[in-house]
Amino acid sequence: MSKTGTVAIIVLNYNNPVATIRCLNSLKLLLEGETLFDTIVVDNGSTDNSVDQIRLNYPEINLVESKKNLGFAGGNNLGIKEALKEGYPYVLLLNNDTLIIDGSMLDKLISTGTNLVGPVIKFQRDSATIVDYGGAIDQLKGRNTHHEYDQLEVPETIPSPDYLSGTCMLVKAEVFITTGLLDDHYFLYYEDVDFCLRAKKAGFSLSVCPETEIYHELSASSNKLGKQKIKILATSHRRFFMKYLSPLAWPFAFAYNLYLTTKAS
């Protein structure tokens, strides 16, 4: 790979070349900004024609291939390792079901000076446009939620996030070097929460930049998992709350976990 940019943008693909190519096409908008970037696509053990389709549309792109599906954390870690090896000062984790809608997004994120920073995430829910200002952790159940508002009803004061969504998160390379990569014991879900909590514990700053947005087409890849998605969520939730919550909260967290497990059956 020929390193030309300040930011390594990592896009993870699993059996969804249409979404991935659409995401890559939208990255061209970032050329309007001042921040130079390079893109690393990680194919996470796809069993369809993803690799051929991505290479056909982007023959020069840095495409890292995994022989098997390593999950969200494991797949992204392949890209993060590549970025750190090449010496990029920033890494942008970017879901393949997102679309860039602000050409200066990278400039604005970097200008915050924050170690971990994300844009406002915009998506559709029924007929409403929802904006997401980062995540919150329920200290009783271990459930991760988000500061979500109807776009027309955003309050003047928004709570500081406990964590940022891995949907779109800009991270200074030093954060990975100090705290380690994403914990690949979380196959899917909670890996971003765990990473942010570890980074905050190590003294790194975290914020949402309200001056920029990205559009998210929710769960374009994970929805293909069906009920298995809920089973994976329950497994990740159990691992998370047993690591982070007070044992006094475990009865409530176990009850919520049982609810998730029941939904998966």
- pLDDT tens-place string over residues 145-170: 999 999 999 999 999 999 999 999 99
Is residue 100 situated within a structural domain? yes
Is residue 95 situated within a structural domain? yes
Phi, psi of 166 (to 5 degrees): -70, -5
Mean pLDDT of 16-39: 97
Residue count of the chain, please give it: 265
Is residue 226 situated within a structural domain? no
Is residue 248 situated within a structural domain? no
Mean pLDDT of 12-17: 97
Question: Which run of H or of E encompasses 9?
Answer: strand 7-13
User: What pLDDT is attached to residue 210?
Assistant: 97
Is residue 262 situated within a structural domain? no
pLDDT > 60? residue 2: no
pLDDT > 80? residue 24: yes
Check which CATH number belongs to the domain holding 138 and give it.
3.90.550.60
227 vs 43, residue with greater confidence: 43
- Kindly report the pTM of this predicted structure: 0.95
- pLDDT tens-place string over residues 194-243: 999 999 999 999 999 999 999 999 765 555 667 889 999 999 999 999 99
- pLDDT tens-place string over residues 51-110: 999 999 999 999 999 999 999 999 999 999 999 999 999 999 999 999 999 999 999 999
In whole angstroms, what separates CA 3 from the centre of its chain? 23
Is residue 2 situated within a structural domain? no
Is residue 36 situated within a structural domain? yes
- Under the banding of pLDDT at 50, 70 and 90, the label for residue 264 is confident
In the structure encoding, which two tokens stand for residue 55, read together? 């290479």
User: What pLDDT is attached to residue 1?
Assistant: 44
User: What pLDDT is attached to residue 31?
Assistant: 97
Domain count of the fold of the chain: 1
Cα 142 to Cα 56, 121, 184, 255, distances in angstroms: 43, 22, 19, 11
Range of the structural domain that residue 77 is part of: 7-220
Radius of gyration over every alpha carbon of the chain, rounded to an integer in angstroms: 18
Phi, psi of 216 (to 5 degrees): -120, 120
Alpha carbon distance 239, 243 (integer Å) = 6
Three-state secondary-structure class, residue 104: coil
User: What pLDDT is attached to residue 227?
Assistant: 81
